Structure 1
Amino acid sequence: MATKRMKKKKNTPQKRNSYITRLRELAQEDHPEALYQLGMEYLSGEHLSYNANCAFSYLEKSANHYYVPAMLELAFSYMTARGVKRDFEQARHWAKRALSLGSHEASDLLRQIDYSQVQEASNEKEYQQALKGYQNGDLKETSHLGECYIYGIGVTCDKEKGLALLHEALDQGYKEAAMLIGDTYFFDEELKNDAKALKYYQYGNQDNNKESLYMTGSIYINTYQDYNQGTAYLKKAAQYESAQAAYQLAIFYLGDNPHVPQDTKALKYYLQQALKADYEDAFEFLDYLHNEQSLKGRKVLSLDDFIELSQIAAKTKRPEDLNRLAFDYFKAQQTDLALKYLKEAANLGHEQSLRLLQVLSINKDDPENSLISAASKGDQSDAMNLASFYFSGIIVEKDIEKALEWLHIAYEKGSYEAGSILGEFYLTGEHVTQDTKKAISLLEDCAKHNNMRSLMILVDCYEKGIGVPKNKKKAELLKNRIANLENC
């Protein structure tokens, strides 16, 4: 769980020892926050060796002194069997106590506890079914039982036993077990061995299994830096309808990766595949491409290409995709079609579309002043929209200065997406005078509020020393935050 820590100065061994010593002194005096922080140090493994049992002990003492963050962590420990035997009733008890003391997080945690308890019962049933199948000689269930042991589904985790069961199924001709063995060697941190993973993915490759082809391509690219082999496998995976492979190829062909040359025709082709397969990340990537072209002036695809891709996306009838298609038609000066899709999005509850329709209806002869009036009185989204219109020339005449002005206003109104775009501009000198100090300040502020764009840019800054001293540890911490946000 996300927690706040005491602010610490530069992390030298002497100061680390002093910090831990001081925590221990305060903990002996039953200082609630110190007890909590000491427990969290045992969980983080940063200053003390990881020890979930010790962590639980300190968290329990802190919670008994009515310290709400400790109550939440204690509930989480009982829910996940972290340093203590799993006990859903105790988890609920501590979450409810935190809720009674005003914790907003406790409501979400109580829902997680309910879900986890239902899931545990389901896992137990799944394990018993797999065990019965294994005892009856069912190779599919033998493989499934191996999964249960590897991932602790309904049974205590035993990876060695799980792999043995998967090998037993594979040796008797159940090829699908090879994919699971490959996944274990690729994804499990303790057993990670990419060479072994690759060996077992090859079983699936012989039968053109799209998942194993994709994973093989990923290993060649990420582990061996062999982009020729890697992209060849990804293309074959996409050929066999792997939306994930198609999406990855679309990203590569954008041209941001120095190992893969830009190819807008291939970018469009593979993005089409991923969108048709309703691959969620592909829709976000299409948004990203729109922003790159409209906000940053980067030539990615033609307007006709964008309309074609947005039409595919809009078939899902998701309001945000209909809204995007409307904007493409506004840019193409096909106002009737733009309004048609804007109305469709508004009817499905898309707030931006509804507000834009309302604004445009106020003064059809002077849409610019109507938009300015709405953005001045409205919230961050209205200001952000107007900035976007000025950048791309949608509805109003293109005007970069006015676009920047409204981007600043959007940030002041609380749009961290606007702040991250401004930060990137100041970092690169695009549209503005380059100012790395101002850029980092903006990006750090937006990153504090979990803005994904800012976090990713800062990773690059700390890895390469752009505007800040190189700091690999800080870059890794930011990467971990990104991973946690993506898994939420």
Structure 2
Amino acid sequence: MNNYALEQAEELFEQALEYFLGIEKEKNMIHAKELLQQSSELGLSKSSNLLGDWYIKKIIPGDNYKEAFKLYTRGYEFGDMRSFSRLAMCYEKGYGIKKDIPKALELYEKSVELGNKDACFSIARIYEKGENIKMDLSKAILWYKRGYEKGDADCACNLATCYYKGKGIEQNIEKAKEIFLAFSEYNTQNQRNLGVIFYKGTPSCKPNEEEAIYWFTKAANNGDITSMLHLGKIYKNLDKEKAMEWYRKAGSLDHKKAAYSYAFHLYQYKIDWNESFKWMKCSAENKHVPAQFLLGLFYKCGIGTPVAHDKAFYWFNIAAENGYEQSYSHIGRYYRDGRIIKIDYENALFWFEKAIASQNINVRGEALYDYGVMYLDGLGVKKNKIRAIGYLLESKELGCINAINKLKELDSDIISNENINNSRIIEHGNIIEYVDMKVIDGYESANWVEI
């Protein structure tokens, strides 16, 4: 490309960006695309790459992967290192061309040879994931190391993570910490990882809450939702108001997991059950499965909303479809009791049996109680008190307060007084909760069961 053509192509590129961003010109994607196309045809590789990116990212409407592939090919023919990498991505993902992992690796490696350190990360990820190619962690580590040595922050982060977990390499937490620190300034993930290391401690360093807060705060201020949840967890024991600020901020950015966590703590701290219901509903509607179950419980027990058994039954079924086992016995009870639906003992037994098969002792314990009640009262099965007591005793051994009370009611000699208070009972509204309500890493709650 001669100097005049280069100047013209650069000018067209700048004008295209002005129309795209609406700088000094009214935003106009049609003009932006036309100008970028002209610049690309004059041989400016960055115009070909950017236009290809717009096609891939659907900034330009329509299925235009083939157009993107052509544009990246044009840049590749001019020897542009980033075009090599983008073309490799097309072969890796099957954008506009049939997937070809060996070809993708070949192009990524050429891009590295031309000076594109970012491509090291792409190569390492292919070997680490092992999709359409044999997984090879040793090769992944080699490419992460190569990228790290060239100063690539993503490679550094993943290499440090491998050292931290001992994945594909001998575990070395101090080395992981060293790398995270070296690349912490502008890499949010590294900041979060440092927070985790200081929060948990290392073999040579005790946990340091102050340092953990420092690094989680840096990451959180850069928009990292997981770090916000970690801060909420830490501040729970230091400053509940500050904890809730972080939970709310996370929830406002992530309407799924973080919204659930915020809703959970609003309920747990008895701050605002109406607000808790609103955020739980938001999380459930965004397909976070634990929230779907708890929303069912909120409707069933009237927490932050009027009791609505039809909606409770609906959300329990949604959660059950997504494999959330805590929902099973609740569904069974609706069929057993005929509340809002016709009594169906066969279906009730089906759901109780499904819950009994769970590995979760809380789920299994409650289901064994319900199953025992079915035999005790002859609901859908032949009445059998001995068999019923057998199920209730099994349930009692798993700490189910329902079973303990039922056995006391049947015969005070069946259960000794020292076993009566195996479970802690806390009343919140009209829920009786007998297992600790806790959030693990901001996301998972223990089982809630209404007596």
TM-score category, normalised to shorter length: 0.3 to 0.5
More helix per residue: 1 or 2? 1
More relative contact order in 1 or in 2 (CA 8 Å, sep 6+)? Answer: 2
The TM-score, its normalising length taken from structure 2, stands at 0.47
